C-alpha cells in the first residue's frame, strides 16, 4: 500500500486495519466458496466460524475508532 509522505500516523494505522480486515473477509469468502462445492457441503465448528466472522468486523471497527480518536485529538 503506497502511502503519501504527509499522512498522519493515525491515518496509516486506521487504513492498515481496515485493509487487513477487508482482506481477511475476502479470503474467508473465497476459501469457504472453494471448500463448499455443488456436490457436497462443508460444515465448520461454531467457534471457528465465529472467529472467521468476528475478526474482520473487529479489525474494520478498530480502524474506524483509531481514525475518529486520532481526528478528535488532531495528532
Measured between alpha carbons, how far is 55 from 42 in angstroms, rounded to an integer?
21
Predicted TM-score (pTM) of the model is: 0.73
What percentage of the chain has pLDDT greater than the value 70? 83
Measured between alpha carbons, how far is 16 from 3 in angstroms, rounded to an integer?
10
Mean pLDDT of 25-36: 79
Residue 54 pLDDT > 80: yes
Amino acid at each position: 500500500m503506497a502511502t503519501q509522505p504527509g499522512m498522519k500516523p493515525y491515518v496509516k494505522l486506521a487504513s492498515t486495519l481496515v485493509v487487513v480486515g477487508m482482506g481477511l473477509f475476502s479470503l474467508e469468502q473465497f476459501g469457504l466458496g472453494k471448500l463448499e462445492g455443488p456436490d457436497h457441503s462443508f460444515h465448520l465448528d461454531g467457534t471457528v466460524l465465529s472467529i472467521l466472522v468476528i475478526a474482520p468486523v473487529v479489525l474494520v471497527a478498530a480502524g474506524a475508532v483509531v481514525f475518529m480518536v486520532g481526528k478528535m485529538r488532531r495528532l
